[in-house]
Structure 1
Amino acid sequence: MNADELRWFLALAKTEQVTAAAHELYLSQPTLSRALARLERELGAPLFDRDGRRLRLNQYGRILREHAGRALAELDTARRRIDALTDPDTGLVRLAFLHSFGAWLVPDLLREYRARAPRVRFALSQDVAEVVVASLREGHADLALTSPRPDGDDLAWHPVHSERLCLAVPPDHPLATQRRVPLASVAAEPFIVLRADTGLRRITDQLCRDAGFEPTVALDSSDLQTVRALVGAGLGIAIVPEPHAPEPHATDEPAGPAYLTLTDAGAGRTIGLCWVAQRPLSPPVVAFRDHVEGWARLSLPR
């Protein structure tokens, strides 16, 4: 079996439809069907159960899916390392990060680094914490910026930045003129939160538990800017990072939230850079990691 056949198989395993997989891979259906037949003959076992025109991944297919993903990730790593050794100044860095870091942290880091290494290429991906960490473990990313620190001894972690969390309330909220509040003072309020698979949601839930209550969730979202907008529209309150710059508003838009400092211990989050500890990193990835660690020494409180 070759790498292309494994990639085609993984596309089939995801869609379980020859038509959909062929369209995704820009292949003809007969070409994909013949490749699957060759793969099954080579392995001596069917990889899918057939149900009319529908495919169902079976126990043999699930085993191959697990190992094929790891094998392709290793091949990609080898290719990148060879490319980097051939010309380390033109290598590729695959960086995954949380959505909320795309507006300030990632641009700051890349702007400074590209000034020093303009020919290094970056492949950027952003998602919620759970997906970012999975992407790193599965070999789809070299480095990840996330918060809080992921569980597991397989990942190395370097703190990059400490971010204070605050309470966002509608501009006409009774507390909007206050500067500092304890979280317990809004225990009865409706909360707008991020989805359960996000890092900030886990921090929010823990802060509320530490304050002695479970938040009443009015709305949830996967996007921090949407959460801020919903608070500004008067639909609830939220725990969010302090804004890094004044939030612009058009004259016909409602005012944004008011931000109050939380007096609770632990009302903050540490952003960190992580990578798979035992996976070799290419020279461009190591150089960018060193750059981020140097940036962090200036950012973190002493």
Structure 2
Amino acid sequence: MSNKLHQLQSLFHSMDRALIAYSGGIDSTLVAKVAYDLLGDRALAVTADSPSLLPEELEDARTQAAEIGIAHRVVVTHEMDNPNYTSNPTNRCYFCKSELHDTLKPLALAEGYPYVVDGVNADDLQDYRPGIQAAQERGARSPLAEVGITKLEVREISKQLGLPWWDKPAQPCLSSRFPYGELITAEKLQRVGRSERYLRQRGWKTLRVRSDGDTARIELPPDEIQAFVSQTDLDSLVTAFRDFGFAYVTLDLEGYRSGKLNRVLADLPSARSSLLRPQPDTLQ
């Protein structure tokens, strides 16, 4: 861990100034922390706000940035205006990250940041992540992936650095709760967000509420399913979810698995990133 942290620090030391695509998740927060430690006020964290981001995630991003000390800015992105995104094709994330980096790159160039960096880690390169391609096409860099830091190592290094959110559950954008091909709307995103918030307020931290038409499918870690059924007032839960806009509520007996909706993509080629190629010196 010490060697990889040193490599990450050396990478930022060579950058001089950097803008961080900062979601508030554990990956981009570690990037922001190391960037600030090395660059100080020459580092800027920027969070994109849109309907696919839970309001509490935005508040977490603000809180964490303040604790780190890094300058933080919020910009609004408009991926929901793009039918290539809202129609929810298998490469939906490409259009999301295109919108993000088409917003961040001009900001970085206008304000003198030669680098835009994100929180993609080494594990992400082994998954189907079309958004990585969009970021690469716009000159963004992924320091964690370049150094070879995995998700587990992100947590270990964050804990080593004393970051209190080192064990924060992953929280991808709300659009990831919909099967490919189902139209995404602001109203659907809101009902998923409200449903997940309802469950978290009752003590269930690692979870997903998958949306399939009018049906909500709750995913929890397999070892929590029995406790959930025995401890939850199911009638109240169903009533709440119907109030949020769902007609039916189900529980996934397999349990939570990250990226479960990507199973339908088994025949597609891997989305391993071209981050394995030499990276650009600066934004072009």
TM range (shorter): 0.3 to 0.5
Return the TM-score normalized by structure 2: 0.32
Higher strand share: 1
For the pair shown, the structure with the greater C-alpha radius of gyration is 1
Give me the TM-score of the superposition, normalised by structure 1. Answer: 0.31
